[in-house]
Amino acid sequence: MPLCTILTIGDEILIGQTVDTNSAWIGQQLNGIGAKVHEIISVSDNADHIKDGLRRAARQSEIVLITGGLGPTKDDITKKTLCDYFEVGEVFHEDIFENLKTIFAKRGREVLDINKKQALLPSNCQVVPNERGTAPGMWFDEAGTIYVSMPGVPHEMKHMVTNYVLPRLAAQFKFPHIIHRNLMLCGIGESSAAKLLDEFENKLPQHIKLAYLPDLGILKLRLSAYEVTTAEGEAEIDALYTEMKAILKEYAYAEEDIKLEELIGKLFLERGKTFALAESCTGGYAGHLVTSIAGSSKYFEGSTVTYSYDMKQTILGVKPETLEQQGAVSEQCVREMLEGLLKISKADYGVSVSGIAGPDGGTPEKPVGTVCFAVGDRNRIVTKTFQFFPRRMENIRISSVTALNLLRKFVLGELE
């Protein structure tokens, strides 16, 4: 398996001004095509330090992916340092300059001398087009190592990797053939899933790996089979995947890598239905997840975030005696919240959620982390109570994802 080193350049990473999210993303992409990230090195905007990093990276890997330091300011010295490292000069690329002028004209800005320098590239590189910004990428093939220098701006870099770098690497290297199968889960944590899958994992053959990829209330399982080329081999993976699905049936929401809020969007668009939310402890985060999807206005009516008792009563018509006798965190309260929501909105379906996000507000009967949900339509309402983590932000996120998952299950007729 060809090894790769990721070299990120920039003082902003070392002083903690920027969290390096690029490396994780690149790691995922490379892993997906069968290349392996051997090491990530983050160095400062210093020529000697960059050259030292390049040398080390080339010694230990066939592929060196470099991000950062390609901007027009004086801090950005990656290009000049690459020239020194390869002992070459710079060449002016007329077509890149023309492209720059077009981009600037569109933004109503003039091309300055400082920008003209962006069309100067090391003479030994091949241009990797940047369709999202002004700094072109550079591809070097020197002494048996591929070096690719890319901008640090995530959306520019990602576009380059997806459209140019991965296809070229795949053409040039012999990566192992990998088949990935994803299973998206909600409502179960990593360790609980691992417990249920204990026996299953123990019998996996050497060439099939299972990865747990948790993300805030969502757990992605990735079953990967290496170098499977026969029909028997594929049948074996199919059988294992089916077995894994059966074990986790209750928690699975998709077999492709898709966010829950995106899947909900597809589901409601397909059915031509709409929904609304009545939130309390989630404070708007459930609505945020839904509306983070472009086009959500086609199926999402809105959310009432009734944080106070008063707003629960005036907007949703929750009864004062319910709040007094059973409290805002009770199945009766979420039921009334949902009933009220379906009165004031035309939405076909609704979910309500109320809980104790913490750190204060817990009681012995209802400790911090207790969350009640109601989901339903104008014919039927189902209520549920869960006990989640006592940490505030985790609780808010898990409660929001759970609300959406209950909605999905209800709409699909899978909720008792």
Nearer CB in complex with a second copy: 42/145: 42
Burial class for 162, CB neighbours closer than 10 Å (0-12, 13-18, 19+) = exposed
| Distance in Å, CB of 89 to a second copy, minimum | 29
| Distance in Å, CB of 95 to a second copy, minimum | 27
Nearer CB in complex with a second copy: 146/357: 357
Main-chain dihedrals φ then ψ at residue 19, nearest 5 degrees: -85, 130
SS3 181: strand
Q: Which two tokens stand for residue 175?
A: 């990566």
| Distance in Å, CB of 400 to a second copy, minimum | 9
| Distance in Å, CB of 358 to a second copy, minimum | 7
| Distance in Å, CB of 247 to a second copy, minimum | 21
Nearer CB in complex with a second copy: 125/334: 334
Separation CA 198–CA 130 (nearest Å): 46
| Distance in Å, CB of 93 to a second copy, minimum | 26
Separation CA 134–CA 120 (nearest Å): 12
Report the alpha-carbon angle 76-79-81, nearest 5.
Answer: 90
Nearer CB in complex with a second copy: 213/382: 213
Nearer CB in complex with a second copy: 331/394: 394
Polymer length of the chain: 416
SS3 372: strand
Separation CA 331–CA 374 (nearest Å): 7
129 near 122, Cβ under 8 Å? no
Nearer CB in complex with a second copy: 32/124: 32
Nearer CB in complex with a second copy: 121/221: 221
How many CA atoms lie less than 13 Å away from 42 in the CB half-sphere? 15
| Distance in Å, CB of 37 to a second copy, minimum | 4
Q: Which of 391, 382, 340 is nearest to 403 (CA)?
A: 382
What are the distances in angstroms from CA 24 to CA 11, 28, 39? 19, 6, 11
Beta-carbon contacts of 3 under 8 Å, excluding residues fewer than 6 positions away, are: 35, 36, 37, 38, 60, 61, 62, 63
Beta-bridge mates of residue 37: 4
H or E element: which one contains 220?
Answer: strand 218-226
| Distance in Å, CB of 137 to a second copy, minimum | 20
| Distance in Å, CB of 108 to a second copy, minimum | 13
Q: How many CB atoms lie within 10 A of CB 408?
A: 21
151 near 135, Cβ under 8 Å? yes
Nearer CB in complex with a second copy: 291/385: 291
Nearer CB in complex with a second copy: 56/207: 56
